[in-house]
């Protein structure tokens, strides 16, 4: 800053010096003009006076050098008189150059300045001339005096300017420059910038005003950033995807959910045209329609296995001015899945109920409207009994499943010996095991106590056991292994049955799913056993895993937490 100050002051000094040089030159010319004019008037007056005094002598031809010397000494000038070839002069021979100039001078009545001496010719007649030559004029002394005055005045002004300029610079220029620098920093976003107060005056008021502005800007910016941060946090943590597009189709806001839903990989996203960001024709068409028509649009879109409920709505000010659109995408995949499960469930239940009902209806009508022998009658009645039991079993399983799935369902927990429960189940399925000559191995600790809902555990073990028997061929093997740790009880059942294809494993716990439809129906299965098992495990805060190899067998592992101490 000091260098800038000096450069400015030096520039002003140079301008002042140039001004006073021109001013001195003008003053010199003016002073010289007035001096010469004054001496011309005086010389003219003196010359006319002398000519009047010497006229008689000049006409009589008696004019002598002594006469000229008298007037020359009196008036402090030199005289030169000439008539025809006669010359009389007070110049003498000491100044031959001046004398020669006077002799060659034109005889017109004009003044001539030669070597600072004023020459004035006066004609008595055409042949008789009197020339007066003044003493040297003090032109040089006058010019030096003027230059001294001008120089002194210039020095005084420069000194004043230097002193006053520094003070002005410190009091006004420097504070204003500081204020300008601070304002530029504020424009660039540095709201911590402040102006050092000027000592007094308007510069101090300017600095204080800018400092107040900086404090207000900082407060507003911090407040805006906090609001923006909260808005971004809320928007980014919303499950629904949000995209904001202005009236020109430029994206202004987007959250992470929207980016994930539409697999947006372009960066940056904000301040770009929406169709360069969203690579989905249907969504772009919705946005385009909303922009052109300024109306709401809605569509359900399938994207990468997700079902998205997309709403596009215009954004308007209070006065109705259109400002853009907002796109909200809801993930309704689970809802769609529930709907599909419901549809499948209704279809499966209808199918499962129709089969036994149709069979029972057919045989009943045969017995009612046709004559059959006693043997056929008993056979038909047995089929009706079998189908009614199957129907009753299906209804009971459906009721059990609905009961377990209720949020209000409560377990009736008691403490019991697991070995006793599994022996009881074994006795129920023993006839089935013997019929298919299946070997069952029960590795259960005899003293293992379990704190759980006895009836539900009984259902769990029974369903797993009967399912293994059902899908294991003759002379196969089923093995139970039960172990206990400090945190859980592990129950594992392994069979040598038909196994399950790997691509079907994820469906094994679905309602009415059967690996072998024919085998299941022949055995009277409802297709709900493993679904019930899964829900019983979940309400006991446990987990269930399945591992299977086609034609080799299946292993199901159930982990249940131990009794809380």
pLDDT at 105: 67
In Å, the largest CA–CA distance within the chain is: 203
More confident residue, 490 or 291: 490
Query: For residue 524, what pLDDT is reported?
Result: 46
Q: Cα dihedral sign for 118, 119, 120, 124?
A: positive
Q: For 297, list phi and psi in degrees, rounded to 5.
A: -135, 150
State yes or no: pLDDT of 220 exceeds 60. Answer: yes
pLDDT in tens, 251-264: 888 888 887 877 77
Instruction: Give the pLDDT of residue 178.
Output: 79
pLDDT of residue 492: 92
Give the model's confidence band at 565: pLDDT under 50 very low, under 70 low, under 90 confident, else very high: very low
| Predicted confidence band of residue 397 (pLDDT cuts 50, 70, 90) | low
Q: What is the pLDDT of residues 488-515, one digit of tens each?
A: 899 999 999 888 888 777 777 776 666 5
Q: Name which of 417, 559, 410 is nearest 491 in CA terms.
A: 559
Neighbours of 376 (CB within 10 A): 14
8-state DSSP, 171: I
Give Cβ neighbours of residue 359 (< 8 Å, ≥ 6 apart): 383, 384, 387
Q: Could you tell me what percent of the chain has a pLDDT over 90? A: 5
Angle between helices 454-470 and 418-435 (to 10 degrees): 30
556, 492 in Cβ contact below 8 A? yes
**Calpha distance 339→332 (Å, rounded):** 10
- For residue 209, give both structure tokens: 């005003």
Evaluate if residue 394 carries a pLDDT over 80.
no
Cα distance between the two ends of the chain = 81
Residue 460: CB atoms within 10 Å:
27
pLDDT value of position 523: 45
Please give the pLDDT value at position 477.
Answer: 92
pLDDT score at 84: 67
CA distances from 422 to 393, 459, 486 (A): 22, 11, 22
Query: 306-316 and 322-331 as β-strands: parallel, antiparallel, unpaired?
Result: antiparallel
Pick from 315-319, 440-444, 482-486: least confident: 315-319
Lowest pLDDT segment from 435-449, 456-470, 524-538: 524-538
pLDDT at 224 over 60: yes
pLDDT tens column, 142-184: 888 888 988 898 888 888 877 777 777 666 677 777 778 888 8
Is pLDDT of 557 > 70? yes
Beta pairing, strands 117-123 & 297-303: unpaired
Q: With 80 as the cut, is the pLDDT of residue 462 above it?
A: yes
Within 10 angstroms of residue 258's Cβ, the number of other Cβ atoms is 25
Say which residue the tokens 């941060």 belong to: 229
Q: Is the dihedral of CA 516, 520, 526, 530 positive or negative?
A: negative
Q: Which DSSP letter does residue 538 get?
A: H
Q: Is the peptide bond before 25 cis (omega within 30 degrees of 0)?
A: no
pLDDT given at position 520: 45
| Phi (first) and psi of residue 481, to 5 degrees | -130, 120
Backbone φ and ψ for 553, nearest 5 degrees, come out as 135, 180
Helix 139-168 × helix 2-60 angle, to 10°: 160
Cβ distance 411 to 454 under 8 Å? no
Whether the upstream peptide bond of residue 496 has omega within 30° of 0, thus cis, is no
CB atoms within 10 A of CB 474: 8
Contact 253, 242 (CB under 8 A): yes
Q: CB of 235 within 8 A of CB of 241?
A: no
Q: How far is CA 466 from the centre of its chain?
A: 64
Q: Is pLDDT of 199 > 70? A: no
**Which band of pLDDT confidence, cut at 50, 70 and 90, is reported for residue 284?**
confident
- What pLDDT does residue 518 have? 46
Determine the pLDDT at residue 350. 65
What is residue 95's predicted lDDT score, i.e. its pLDDT? 67
Q: Is the pLDDT of residue 553 over 80?
A: yes
Q: Which residue has the higher pLDDT, 440 or 510?
A: 440
Q: What does the pLDDT average to over 227-231?
A: 81
What mean pLDDT do residues 426-451 have?
90
∠ Cα 359 360 365 (to 5°): 100
Which two three-digit tokens encode residue 433? 């095991």
**Residue 419: how many CA atoms within 13 Å on its side-chain side?**
9
| pLDDT mean across residues, the chain | 79
- Between 390 and 536, whose confidence is greater? 536
Are residues 384 and 376 in contact, defined by beta-carbon separation less than 8 angstroms? no
Q: For 328-343, what is the mean pLDDT? A: 77
Q: Phi/psi zone of residue 320: left (φ > 0), alpha (ψ -120 to 50 degrees), beta?
A: left
pLDDT at residue number 522:
45
pLDDT in tens, 11-35: 878 888 888 888 888 888 888 888 8
Segment (H or E) for 430: helix 418-435
- Identify the helix (H) or strand (E) that includes residue 114: strand 112-114
491: its two tokens: 């129950």
Helices and strands (H, E) in the chain, number of each type:
15, 17
76 contact partners, CB below 8 Å, separation of at least 6: 134, 135
Average pLDDT estimate for 316-327: 80
Confidence class for position 347, pLDDT limits 50, 70, 90:
low
The pLDDT of residue 521: 47
**Beta strand 112-114 with 117-123: parallel, antiparallel or unpaired?**
antiparallel
Pick the closest to residue 117 from 152, 78, 75, 90 (CA basis): 78
The mean per-residue pLDDT over the stretch 435-440 comes to 90
């Amino acid at each position: 800053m000091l260098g800038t100050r000096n450069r400015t002051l030096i520039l002003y000094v140079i301008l002042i010096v140039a001004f006073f040089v021109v001013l001195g030159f003008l003053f010199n010319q003016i002073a010289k003009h007035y001096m010469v004019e004054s001496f011309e008037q005086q010389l003219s007056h003196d010359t006319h006076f002398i000519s009047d005094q010497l006229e008689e002598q000049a006409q009589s031809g008696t004019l002598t050098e002594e006469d000229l010397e008298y007037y020359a000494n009196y008036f402090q000038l030199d005289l030169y008189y000439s008539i025809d070839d006669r010359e009389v002069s007070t110049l003498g021979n000491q100044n031959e150059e001046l004398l020669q100039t006077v002799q060659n001078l034109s005889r017109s009545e004009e003044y001539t300045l030669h070597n600072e001496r004023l020459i004035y010719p006066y004609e008595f007649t055409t042949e008789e001339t009197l020339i007066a030559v003044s003493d040297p004029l003090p032109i040089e002394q006058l010019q030096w005096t003027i230059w001294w005055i001008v120089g002194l005045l210039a020095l005084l002004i420069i000194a004043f300017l230097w002193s006053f300029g520094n003070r002005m610079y410190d009091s006004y220029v420097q504070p204003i420059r500081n204020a300008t620098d601070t304002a530029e920093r504020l424009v660039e976003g540095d709201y911590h910038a402040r102006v050092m107060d000027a000592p007094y005056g308007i510069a101090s008021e300017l600095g204080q005003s800018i400092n107040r502005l900086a404090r207000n800007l900082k407060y507003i910016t911090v407040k805006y950033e906090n609001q923006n941060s909260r808005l971004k946090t809320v928007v980014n943590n919303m499950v629904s995807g949000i995209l904001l597009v202005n009236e020109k189709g430029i994206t202004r806001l987007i959250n992470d959910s929207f980016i994930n839903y539409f697999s947006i990989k372009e960066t940056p996203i904000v301040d770009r045209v929406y169709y360069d960001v969203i690579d989905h024709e249907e969504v772009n068409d919705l946005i385009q329609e909303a922009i052109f028509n300024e109306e709401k649009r809605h569509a359900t879109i399938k994207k990468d296995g997700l079902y998205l409920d997309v709403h596009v709505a215009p954004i308007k000010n209070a006065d109705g001015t259109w400002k853009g659109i907002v796109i909200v995408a809801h993930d309704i995949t689970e809802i769609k899945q529930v709907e599909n499960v419901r549809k499948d469930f209704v279809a499966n239940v209808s199918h499962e109920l129709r089969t036994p009902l149709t069979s029972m209806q057919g045989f009943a009508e045969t017995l009612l409207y046709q004559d059959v022998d006693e043997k056929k009658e008993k056979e038909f009645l047995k089929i009706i009994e079998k189908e009614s039991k199957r129907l009753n079993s299906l209804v009971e399983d459906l009721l059990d499943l609905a009961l377990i799935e209720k949020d209000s369902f409560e377990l009736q927990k008691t403490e019991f010996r697991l070995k006793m429960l599994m022996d009881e189940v074994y006795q129920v399925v023993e006839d089935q095991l013997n019929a298919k000559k299946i070997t069952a191995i029960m590795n259960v600790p005899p003293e293992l106590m379990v704190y759980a809902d006895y009836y539900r555990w009984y259902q769990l073990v029974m369903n797993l056991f009967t399912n293994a028997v059902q899908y294991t061929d003759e002379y196969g093997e089923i093995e139970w292994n039960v172990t206990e740790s400090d945190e859980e009880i592990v129950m594992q059942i392994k069979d040598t049955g038909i196994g399950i294809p790997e691509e079907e494993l994820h469906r094994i716990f679905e309602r009415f799913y059967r690996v072998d439809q024919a085998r299941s129906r022949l055995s009277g299965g409802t297709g709900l056993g493993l679904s019930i098992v899964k829900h019983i495990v979940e309400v006991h805060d446990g987990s269930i895993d399945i591992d299977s190899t086609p034609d080799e067998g299946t292993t199901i592992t159930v982990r249940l937490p131990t009794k809380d101490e």
